[in-house]
Chains A and B, each alone.
Chain A
Amino acid sequence: MELARKWVQLVIALLTNGYWGFPATRTIYQGPLKVVCSPGLNCYSCPAATTYCPLGALQQLMLSIRFNLENAQYYLGWYVLGCIGVVGAFLGRMVCGWACPFGFFQELLYKIPSRKFSVPRPLRFIKFGLLLFFIFLLPLFVVNDFGMGNPWFCKYVCPAGTLEAGLPLLWLQPELRNTVGLLFYNKVAILVFFVGWSVVASRPFCRVACPLGAFYALFSRARLVKLQLDREKCTKCEACHHVCPMGVKFNESPDDFECITCLACMDRACKFDAISLTVGGIPLRSGEVRKPVVSKPQ
């Protein structure tokens, strides 16, 4: 299952970044697919990006709401919210585990041999603050004389944007290098920080700072596809604690908002079939306890 997940992650990363004409055109893809929402964090200013980033689009709509309303354009972000809401209601944070290119990148970094550390659990609440302030409130309320705000998360934080768009565009368009300033160095420092952290800890950006992960986390109880614990079969052996890349103690909190449904606990840890993948509460696999095979006396 782990191999299948890696393939899905790779295919989705290639599909959402499938425009390989950029070295010749030296600009980004400008085709009709850009109206399709990328389920994971994937900067739409990336030269290879074929879809739009929901966080980028949401901020752009938030920061121009006043301006648009004054011009009788009622763009309130419903289309983007609807897109990621539908994805969230289906899969929740399963997207993070299976369809996010930046999550995949962090998983690859974590494979680099080094001493490994855990991520302190209280830090995971930071991403909800980033979602509320940097995606919604600051772009909406901190505006200039024309009523326009800033895309705060993209501009000041997003390491995926620096990796996928900032650095490649500086390579493709050398004339841009003269405009690089403190803002860009700050973003490069944030990228370097998370790259380094990803080598020694599992998915630190997803756990601490991803507003899209925070949005999908809101669906942890209400999503259609989720893992379910059978408390009668669970022996509390805690094997599921040791394989989870997100530090979830599944048998203690089966609806944990950090669960990315990577299926490691179900496939690699639980020997008692206490964990099953369900759709709308209906298990996809009927689990039977794997009892040791005992040969009958002849």
Chain B
Amino acid sequence: MLRKKKPLRKLPFIVLTFFLVLFLAGVISGEPSRVLEQSWQICLSCIGIG
């Protein structure tokens, strides 16, 4: 008996593409440098000190 071929699910690729576009939009708007700035600083109030 022939094994039935499993169909490729499309939804994950659509979702993946959406977030890739979002990611690229963030890169274009210069957000990585802002994230870098934030992550280089110790935010004391963020960790409950001060």
Contacts and interface: CB of A to CB of B under 8 A. Distances in A.
Given A35-B32, A281-B8, A28 B49 contact: no
A176 B39 contact: no
Interface residues of A, number: 60
Contact of A280 (B13, B24, B39): B13
Nearest to B22: A82
A52 B50 contact: no
B27 A79 contact: yes
Contacts of B45: 150-151, 155, 183
A201 interface: no
A221 B49 contact: no
Contacts of B19: 81-82, 85-86, 88-89
Contacts of A77: 26, 31
Q: Chain B's interface: helix, strand, loop or mixed, by majority?
A: helix
Interface string B29-48: 11110111011101111111
Nearest to A51: B39
A280 B31 contact: no
Given A35-B32, A161-B46, A82 B20 contact: yes
A80 B8 CA distance: 28
Contact of A90 (B16, B30, B32): B16
A170 interface: yes
A29 to B, nearest CB: 8
A44 B39 contact: yes
Interface of B: 6-9, 11-16, 18-27, 29-32, 34-36, 38-40, 42-50
Closest 6 CB pairs of A and B: A82-B23, A79-B26, A85-B19, A78-B26, A79-B31, A281-B9
